[in-house]
Structure 1
Amino acid sequence: MDAPRKQDPLHGINLETILTRLVAYCGWDELADRIEIRCFYSDPSIKSSLKFLRRTPWARKKVEDLYLFFQEDIEEKCK
């Protein structure tokens, strides 16, 4: 039969939600310390960061991985 499929932990969560929650949880300064990309430390905004992350797969992966690392804490704080 079919092998069980792994569930995608980010299924149903868009990039804007991930970034917004990370910023609310960590703040721009800590986010820039953890992921060194200019859009996080030089005049950061959600709009400019999303534009960069959507065009840059390696950076998006780092943001998604960081979100997964903090996911339980973030979801608890966002309740």
Structure 2
Amino acid sequence: MVDSGDFPPLPSSPDELRREHQLTRLMALSFDSAASPSITLRALSTPELRDASYGWGFSWYPDPPRAANVVKDPSSIG
């Protein structure tokens, strides 16, 4: 269980919110068998607050594993 004290306070002003959106974020999921995860990033649902693009990407090892497959869009807006 995660203690709510582990998280910083939410931004309270537009300037703080804009600064928060400029920080780098990384999320990783790892599975040792076939999986079909579904992810929704609600923080990216307000485009008017963005002044920089968000990149995204996926990578996986196919079966049989010869090399990693990577799909990415470093200039996506969300």
* Superposition TM-score, scaled by structure 1 size: 0.23
Higher-Rg structure is: 2
Higher helix share goes to which structure? Answer: 1
Higher strand share goes to which structure? Answer: 2
